[in-house]
């Protein structure tokens, strides 16, 4: 059988540690044709996230991919604290990298999203691993975007799992609920990768030591930045030293390299009211005891389970020699 062509991708992110590991994974994946990266305020500022992205891409030897900074605040003008307690000062676990040789693309992230979608001729796949402000603004600027982009994968939300910025809200959805609502209900083919599944796929200290020892700069960088991330997870979320695979798992699903074992079609929306449930992903799971039959109004494929083997794939991919 002929080898499938690499999948054209645009990644919209807020480059902290897990975004960086996802970027490194994409750069090492033959199935990914990474056309552009856009950044938004989230784990750090949009501008710092763009700088982090350029540094990560340079480590991977991918200096020609355009990177543009975007929204500095939410749709309603809110700003939120940077997540230094999760991702370290600057967003990359406190690891110091050389100043990137490349400069950010002068376009706003919204313009780069629209331009890349138009140039891809209907083949672009968007992977969003951050608050969805840039995508919502792009939809407002170009209402035909769902026709130009055949598929969108979003790392975000929590269905049965607790939230991570409130009892019910996950960060990427909860930091800009209005934007998330616009993106999730825009009518395009959408896959959601929520905490329910990302918290099941865990990197361990054994994985990190393999990354540090693998002898290439991509694996070494991943191992170095994960140190801070592991400490956070051990203190707050996991009973061992390790981390969830939030953004890397979403990247694997976007590429088709991870096959979900449970991924029902569900109707999803977002709570945008100013109350205790603000930012919660509201998913219609009333068919849970009947195997999640597709109910009226279903607008997203929601990945709830995978087979638990992704961390091994991730480490192998990051440790392989560059082709």
* Cα atoms in the Cβ-side hemisphere of radius 13 Å centred on 308: 2
Angle 65-89-278 from CA coordinates, rounded to 5°: 85
- DSSP SS3 for 269: strand
Residue 39 is given by DSSP the state E
H-type alpha helices, 191-260: 195-198, 205-213, 217-236, 246-255
> Is residue 132 a contact partner of residue 157, using CB atoms and an 8 Å limit?
no
CA nearest to 180, candidates 282, 257, 314, 310: 282
CA nearest to 307, candidates 237, 260, 246: 260
Annotated catalytic sites, by residue?
Answer: 246
E strands in the chain:
7-13, 32-39, 67-69, 125-128, 151-155, 190-193, 202-204, 242-244, 265-266, 268-270, 281-283, 300-302
* Token pair recorded at residue 219: 């694996």
């Amino acid at each position: 059988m002929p080898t499938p062509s690499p999948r054209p991708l645009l990644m919209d992110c807020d480059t902290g540690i897990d975004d960086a590991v996802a970027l490194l994974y994409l750069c090492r994946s033959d199935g990914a044709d990474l056309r552009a990266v856009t950044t938004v305020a989230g784990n750090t500022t949009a501008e710092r996230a763009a700088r982090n992205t350029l540094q990560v891409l340079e480590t991977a030897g991918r200096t020609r991919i355009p990177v543009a900074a975007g929204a500095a605040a939410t749709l309603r003008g809110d700003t939120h604290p940077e997540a230094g307690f999760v991702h370290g000062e600057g967003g990359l676990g406190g690891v110091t990298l050389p100043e990137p040789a490349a400069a950010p693309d002068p376009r706003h992230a919204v313009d780069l999203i629209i331009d890349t979608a138009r140039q891809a001729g209907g083949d672009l796949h968007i992977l969003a691993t951050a608050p969805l402000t840039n995508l919502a603004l792009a939809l407002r600027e170009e209402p035909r975007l769902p026709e130009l982009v055949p598929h969108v994968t979003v790392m975000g939300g929590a269905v049965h799992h607790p939230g991570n910025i409130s009892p019910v809200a996950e960060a990427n959805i909860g930091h800009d609920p209005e934007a998330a609502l616009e993106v999730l209900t825009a009518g395009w083919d959408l896959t959601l990768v929520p905490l329910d599944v990302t918290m099941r796929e865990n990197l361990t200290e054994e994985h990190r030591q393999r990354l540090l020892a693998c002898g290439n700069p991509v694996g070494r960088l991943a191992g170095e930045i994960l140190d801070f991330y592991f400490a956070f997870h051990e203190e707050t979320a996991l009973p061992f030293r390790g981390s969830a695979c939030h953004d890397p798992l979403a990247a694997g699903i976007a590429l088709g390299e991870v096959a979900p074992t449970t991924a029902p079609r569900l109707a999803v929306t977002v709570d945008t009211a100013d109350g205790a449930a603000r930012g919660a992903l509201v998913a219609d799971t009333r068919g849970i005891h009947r195997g999640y039959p597709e109910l009226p109004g279903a607008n997203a494929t929601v990945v709830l389970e995978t087979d638990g083997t992704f961390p091994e794939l991730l480490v192998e991919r990051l440790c392989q020699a560059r082709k």
